[in-house]
Amino acid sequence: MRALKNQLKHTLTLFLAGGLLAAIPAMAASDLEAQEGFARARAKTLQKDIDHSAHQNPADKSLEFHGVFYGYLPCDDCDGVKTTLSLQQKQNYLLVTQPAKESSREYYERGKYDWNNEKRTVVLTPKKGGANPRSFHIEDEGTLIQLNADGIKKEGYELQRSDTYKSREVHIH
């Protein structure tokens, strides 16, 4: 009888411990969901009094194009070039290119950009000498099209703004 009670206690203990262990992932998931909910509520509370008018219609039109542009540009000796252009504050830019080849590396170019609202162009001038400036036509608020040396749009050389691509909107303070 005593052996049966001990066996029953042991089985009951294992059963309860197994039940508790099974509940831990569920508690962790619900805890993570709760934390995310609290973070969203806190952000709404903190942002309700923020004045967004300063960056909705900036006085300097070049501020509208701060952001990141992506594209897959044509290439003569490869399948294409993955291109990322980041137009940053103070007229700085970072251009990252990576040819679509086996084990190809990324190439980085930094420099300054000039904004011409009348011609609707952005001209990239690299910091390191030797590289020619690149020009892009501003098609709309989310599209840049590369121009050749004569100022003519190059077919297929298009970069899309990341925060408007596929209707994804990003708003960060």
CA atoms in the 13 A half-sphere facing the CB of 92: 5
d(CA 151, CA 167): 30
d(CA 86, CA 69): 6
Tell me which of 29, 50, 71 is where a domain ends.
50
How many structural domains comprise the chain?
A: 2
By CB atoms closer than 10 A (0-12, 13-18, 19+), residue 106 is: exposed
Tell me the C-alpha to C-alpha distance, in Å, between residue 78 and each of 28, 67, 75.
Answer: 47, 28, 5
The phi, psi pair for 122, rounded to 5°, reads -125, 125
Question: Residues 39-95: pLDDT tens digits?
Answer: 676 666 666 566 655 555 555 555 556 789 999 899 887 888 999 999 988 899 999
Domain that holds residue 96: 56-166
CATH number at residue 86: 2.40.128.640
Residue 171 lies in a domain: no
Q: What is the mean pLDDT of residues 122-133?
A: 86
d(CA 8, CA 168): 59
Tell me which of 50, 70, 86 is where a domain ends.
50
What contacts 24+ positions apart, CB below 8 Å, involve 153-159? 156/73, 156/74, 157/71, 157/73, 157/74, 158/71, 158/73, 159/69, 159/70, 159/71, 159/73, 159/83, 159/85
Is the pLDDT confidence value at 167 over 50? no
Question: Residues 74-86: pLDDT tens digits?
Answer: 988 788 899 999 9
Is the pLDDT confidence value at 118 over 80? yes
Answer yes or no: pTM beyond 0.75: no
Residue 64 lies in a domain: yes
d(CA 123, CA 135): 4
Q: Are residues 46 and 61 in the same domain?
A: no
Q: Are residues 11 and 63 in the same domain?
A: no
Question: Residues 7-46: pLDDT tens digits?
Answer: 767 776 766 666 655 555 544 456 667 767 766 766 666 6
Q: Are residues 154 and 69 in the same domain?
A: yes
Residue 162 lies in a domain: yes
